[in-house]
Chain A
């Protein structure tokens, strides 16, 4: 790869007030290269992507495109120069149709539809973006970027929200893009994907590039070591030990159904048990969690907590029975403009009896306890929106640590989170279980089931397809059950 670089970045830096997001980033991308950009949460990946795509401008440094110095004034400007991104969060406006979203980025409708059908999907252009499920939205975002036929495609954690089949599709699309002599910057926390598809990888730590190497040679260990620096915690080596589980049920779900999405779902969760839920996207797991959390109403079936039948009209009903919910989308759980403290303490004041004067001493004790046990980085504590994704996720879980709970409903808590933080979250779940608390854990990464759960149920088309003991929670069994293949 001695030819001229397509894109070269030198000494790029960016600060937000006193918080340094990017300190000194240097790397280059050749034509026809798939380059992985790696780093723990808060390492500066998203900031770098935003600068490269004209969303924000850097404080210092040089960006060269085909040997010519450039500075992008807007995403539109970057797109016209051949750089098209797919951001971490869907970049479609929810309340307007897909077609109108396409107008906004000046995207050719026919090219878009061509890319969509090449993915094996079909999309109704008149549908509102808000009516479309997250994984499909990600694919629409990707198709929109591809429709501009960019020289450089930037994918920021696109596979994080995707089920396995779609993630594989993205990988093959990247291969095709490369085959046409074009380049990709690929950001992902799934190390297997990096090794499978990428040519080279650059690791960022604390806003500086610390290592660049050929991804094929780069073993998982090298990537992890570079990402974590001194902190040698390996998420993949988290030791899962079967703990003693009490025999009494905490919650029993009987023939639960919800519209067309959930049909006749029954299972039990014991005290101190971590029950995994595995499913491909859209098998009813979203609704199941919402019903258990009191956020949606079932159309049939019964719920029992400690043997007593319960009906939830509002999330506060579930909370009063000790059931807490960590939703999959951090944006639905956090108050972005408020402080870490207010976010953590929010649920303490839910009842009218707590509307009076705040006991600040007690609040501080609880909040500090959560901050410490979850190791939340409080550098940008005044507004939660300034925290990295992993720290935001810790805040959503930490809220329930401050109040206490018996059952934690955790929906894909490690999505888009770096290995170090993932390890912390697994540990946390084990700790909850050791304290006799139950956890219902849905995860889109099947490997996590065996890392953190005692047993698992698999949902397929709104039904419980399989009920697997710990020994059978290997990826093959889970995956085949998730595809509706009956296991024996």
Chain B
């Protein structure tokens, strides 16, 4: 018996097991409150809804592992969705190319500001978000005029189901999630992302050009943000300025709940995936409760804080 326990322990850390425990209990509680939740198609929808948050959290994980954060991710996502919806009239491929270039541009500015010019990542990306809100607010009435509905193919890719509970967005998530896990655990860049977050001075003395790693992190984060933006846009059918606003804090919370240190250097995307699933089920649970939006927000915030706090206590001990 104890042997089996030890084997299980070596596979999953205590922290990871407790995340599964939290997810499972939330799942059961939600099912008890709303019986419909236990159906296959409902699970499919929940997984599908978790995809945008999961992709945003992937970008956030990479930034936070380097000791940074990206709060401009809301307008990166929204901006990418706007660009695709407006430019899709001149061909989907071109529209996606424009959106990709937009993400790379914003990621590059963020990365250079943080890596080369030593800007505080919190201030830099918050400022970037404010600037982008301004640009798009003016843009959609002038140089970015056009349709605000998403092209059909994107709608299908972001909400189309294949066989319940498997959907197109879920497959996309598995693909990109796998890539991120591979990047962080099996590549040289992944090693450097952790190294820079743990001790940038040590990384520099070992010959690492720290700014290049930070630049890469912000660009990858922006690209994932853009992809998440297309998913959100596709799921709601049309684009609006506040498209991704409500997901910014959850994207940070999912990473923290998943055990990534906000100071960088330690954590994993697997943890963030669990965090994203937990937060998605939690939103579902709160949506079934008959109470005002303000009360729901309070409960949500309270639970997120409790989770983050207990988790940090747990990882401290192990």
Residues on A facing B (Cβ under 8 Å): 17, 293, 295, 314-316, 318-320, 325, 327, 331-338, 342, 345-352, 354-358, 360, 399
Contact = CB atoms under 8 A, between A and B. Distances in A.
Pick from A335, A337, A355, A356 the residue with the most CB of B within 10 Å.
A335
B185 to A, nearest CB: 9
B191 A349 contact: yes
Contacts, number: 93
Contacts of B191: 342, 345-346, 349, 358
15 contacts: A295-B205, A316-B208, A316-B209, A333-B202, A334-B199, A334-B202, A338-B266, A342-B191, A346-B208, A347-B206, A347-B207, A348-B188, A355-B216, A356-B187, A358-B188
Contacts of B203: 335, 346
A338 B195 contact: yes
Contact of B195 (A320, A346, A351): A346
A327 B105 CA distance: 38
B201 interface: yes
B206 A315 contact: yes
Nearest to A314: B209
B198 A335 contact: yes
Contacts of A348: 188
Contacts of A318: 207
Given A342-B195, A357-B186, A315 B204 contact: yes
Contact of B207 (A319, A335, A338): A319
B205 A349 contact: no
B265 interface: yes
A338 B197 CA distance: 10
A14 to B, nearest CB: 15
Nearest to A334: B202
A316 B207 CA distance: 4
A323 to B, nearest CB: 10
B106 interface: no
Contacts of A334: 199, 202
Contacts of B189: 349, 355-356
Given A346-B191, A358-B186, A337 B204 contact: no
A320 to B, nearest CB: 8
A351 B212 CA distance: 10
Given A335-B202, A338-B194, A358 B187 contact: yes
B115 to A, nearest CB: 13
B188 A338 contact: no
B223 interface: no
Contacts of B133: none
Contacts of A320: 207
A334 B194 CA distance: 12
Contact of B206 (A350, A352, A357, A358): A350
Interface in B174-198: 186-189, 191-192, 194-195, 198
Nearest to A349: B188
Nearest to B206: A347
